[in-house]
């Protein structure tokens, strides 16, 4: 696996572990105060980061760009600020941190979309630089 794909996957597993631990805590104590933080950490941290990692694994040319590296940092800020912001909201009533997280979450997805469009316009066929071996026949 290329380096960036692996970094995304490791981050995803880390966030997933934290999020699930919060879930276990909520289930054990019947205290659901942090369910929004838990939900966002799972979906943005575990699920979304995993999808990014898999895409960068399949498209190593895209993973080697500066844009993809910027996307990685932007995605982290989004996870930390949006999930943390949810916890801050229930504790202190302020939505400011979550708002910053939302801006980074949108920016992260925009960078990803832009990278995909740019990648798609420079490649004539998906198999040209995909990690999937184009010589292998696709079994029906
Ligand atoms: C160890 C694994 C997990 C445990 C023990 C757990 C536990 C919980 C609990 C106790 C709640 C609160 C339910 C309520 O308000 O009645 C909750 C909410 C939620 N969980 Fe998890 N969860 C786990 C994994 C996940 C995963 C993997 C995802 C998503 C990928 C997820 C997404 C959500 C979402 C979106 C909510 C909010 C639901 C709502 O607001 O109604 N959880 N979870």
**Predicted confidence (pLDDT) per residue in 37-82, tens digit:** 999 999 999 999 999 999 999 999 999 999 999 999 999 999 999 9
Q: Report the nearest-CA residue for atom 18 of ligand 1.
A: 35
Residue 59: φ, ψ to 5°? -120, 75
The lowest-confidence range among 8-12, 86-90, 117-121, 127-131 is: 127-131
Residue spans of alpha helices (H) in 30-132:
35-40, 49-58, 60-63, 66-92, 96-122
| Mean confidence (pLDDT) of the chain | 91
* Ligand 1, CB cutoff 6 Å, lining residues: 20, 23-24, 26-27, 32, 35, 38-39, 42-43, 46-47
By most ligand atoms within 8 Å of CB, the mutation choice from 12, 24, 34, 35 for ligand 1 is 35
Question: Helices 96-122 and 49-58: crossing angle, nearest 10°?
Answer: 20
Q: What is the pLDDT of residue 140?
A: 42
Q: What is the pLDDT of residue 130?
A: 64
The pTM for the full model equals 0.88
For the chain, give the percent of residues with pLDDT over 70.
87
- Mean pLDDT on 105-126: 89
- Mean pLDDT on 84-112: 98
84 to each of 32, 39, 49, how far by Cα in Å?
A: 15, 11, 16
What is the rounded CA–CA span in Å between residue 106 and residue 7?
A: 20
- Mean pLDDT on 92-103: 98
By most ligand atoms within 8 Å of CB, the mutation choice from 28, 30, 38, 40 for ligand 1 is 38
What is the rounded CA–CA span in Å between residue 64 and residue 62?
A: 5
């Amino acid at each position: 696996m290329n380096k960036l794909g692996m970094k995304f996957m490791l981050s995803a597993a880390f966030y997933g572990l934290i999020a699930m631990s919060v879930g276990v805590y909520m289930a054990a104590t019947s205290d659901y105060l942090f369910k929004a933080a838990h939900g966002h950490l799972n979906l943005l941290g575990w699920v979304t980061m995993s999808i990014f990692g898999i895409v960068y694994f399949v498209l190593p040319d895209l993973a080697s760009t500066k844009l993809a590296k910027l996307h990685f940092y932007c995605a982290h800020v989004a996870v930390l600020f949006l999930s943390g912001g949810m916890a801050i909201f229930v504790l202190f009533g302020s939505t400011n941190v979550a708002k910053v997280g939302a801006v980074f979450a949108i920016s992260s997805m925009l960078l990803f979309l832009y990278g995909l469009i740019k990648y798609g316009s420079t490649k004539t066929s998906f198999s040209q630089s995909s990690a999937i071996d184009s010589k292998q026949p696709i079994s029906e």
